[in-house]
Structure 1
Amino acid sequence: MAQLIEGLTVEDVRANVERVRSEIADAAARAGRSADDVQLLAAVKYVAIEELPVLAQAGISLVGENRAQELERKVAAPGGGQLTWDFIGHLQSRKVKTILPLVRMIHSVGSASVVEQLGRHAKDGTKILVEVNIAGEEGKSGIAPAALDDFLDRAQALSGVEVVGLMTMPPLAADPEDSRRWFAALAALAAARGLPELSMGTTQDFPVAVEEGATIVRVGTKLYL
């Protein structure tokens, strides 16, 4: 397990946030987009729970957690209530009921069992993104592009659920440019289906994701270290 990130200062995190936002703005400008159309989500999987007040004071408002149990702990912790939470990790169907009241949006809906639980527990206004295994990687979470329409039909039929977009994690790559084709492919899938939100891009490749249409980038260590 990666070491927890501790000892953050408001000044350092604020400076990092400003640098990342500047990179987002530059990438958006290169693509002829407005930086206002891109949300910065701070991934906090490895951030110690005691550091949450620092994030809020440094100007971070939207955060994402990968694990349902940690989401519960962090939302209830000091500083957690000052932040808006999304769920961005692999979602087990048995955890759907637990996380729904805690989050603005679920980024990682990618199985029939999760859709079934959403149908049982979602309230009006539940926003979700469908996770797409854009590169068809063996053993990776997400819906195959060829199965996307059938999956969307099922999810969009749920009472109280609004499918607002797609999410993906491209194959690991040393060069961010290697992710470009996968981001472009996800953007094309979303555009063809009238889905406005695209959650794609992380610390190593978010500028490329912005250039290809990301509306939410999930940035972690670059905000803290």
Structure 2
Amino acid sequence: MHAISEALDRVSTAIENAAIRAGRKPSDVTLVAASKKTEILQIEAAIAWGLRIFGENRVQEAHAKFLDSALIKKIEALHLIGPLQTNKVKKVVGQFDLIHSVDSLHLAEKIEKEALRQGITQSILIEVNIAGEENKHGVSLAQTPNLVEAIRKLAHLKLLGLMTIPPLTESAEAARPYFSKLRKLGESLQLHKFSMGMSRDFEVAIEEGATWVRPGTAIFGRRTL
């Protein structure tokens, strides 16, 4: 698994350089390894390198790989970075350190109810459909302020910031306006933490203010779907 160690060296250096270019501290950017469809040996290699925060897209897969295994004791945090269905809320609240994909008040209220039942506060991000794509999850740009206001009234949710997945563009640079738009939206709502940027565009995302980046392929290579 030497390839994963080398890949993480490259990604870590790229994160540091992008932050410096933007006049930011590299420590302000957190690497969340998107580990969907990865093998346990790959995850163990990443942990051996020093990686401690992983993001999973699917609740069932996250339980199988992390939450129901000894690996959960070897990491610092597990994030849910994929869509969350309301019928999976009980398997997520209190299990994941951060939910990136809250995109409706209905879902937020379900999470609030379960967090109340458990007597905890659940950290979340609001997922914004920054380009208004029909095939994407996320609240619309126009509705985001209303959702932020409503979620701030829920006592057992801690809203940390915003998340987005930009449209697939021909180049990483072409994604810059979408990242910039998310940052400006967040700042207008007194939110300053942003989950944005995956393998092909995380450096641009950092230059535009990302505080969490979610590369997967850049670390683990291409995975079969």
Instruction: Report if TM-score (shorter chain) is over 0.5.
Output: yes
**Cα distance, 1:155 vs. partner?**
1.2
Q: Gapped runs of 5+ residues in structure 2?
A: none
Q: Secondary structure at the match of 1:102?
A: coil
Matched, 1:87 2:80: yes
Superposed, which structure 2 residues align to 1:1-225 within 5 Å?
9=1, 11-75=2-66, 76-83=68-75, 84-122=77-115, 123-225=119-221
Percent of pairs with identical residues: 38
Q: Give the TM-score normalised by structure 2.
A: 0.92
Aligned to 1:5: none
| Counterpart in the other structure of 1:3 | none
Which TM-score applies when normalising by structure 1?
0.92
Ranges in structure 1 where 5+ consecutive residues have no aligned partner: 1-8
Could you list the structure 1 runs, at least 4 aligned residues long, displaced by more than 6 angstroms after superposition: none
User: Following TM superposition, by how much is the alpha carbon of 1:79 offset from its aligned partner in structure 2, in angstroms?
Assistant: 2.2
Q: How many residues align?
A: 216
Quote how far apart the aligned CAs of 1:146 are: 0.8
Contact 1:14 1:59 in 2 (8 A): no
Distance 2:127 2:21 in 1: 27
How many Å separate the matches in 1 of 2:45 and 2:188?
A: 40
CA distance in 1, matches of 2:71, 2:91: 20
Cα distance, 1:33 vs structure 2: 0.6
Deviations 1:28-48 (A, max 9, x none): 111111111000010000202
Distance in 2, Cα, partners of 1:114 & 1:54: 35
Question: 1:50: how far off?
Answer: 4.5
SS of the aligned residue for 2:146 comes to helix
Worse-matched range after superposition: 52-61 or 177-186: 52-61
Displacement of 1:196 in angstroms is: 2.3
Deviation string 1:195-223 (CA, Å, 9 cap, x unpaired) is: 12100000000000000000000010111
Q: Alpha carbon RMSD of aligned pairs, Å?
A: 1.3
AA partner of residue 73 (structure 1): A
| Partners of 1:56 and 1:82 within 8 A in 2 | yes
Contact persistence 1:67–1:89 (CA under 8 A)? yes
Query: Following the alignment from structure 1 to structure 2, what is the Cα–Cα distance between the partners of residues 178 and 80?
Result: 37
CA distance in 1, matches of 2:44, 2:65: 11
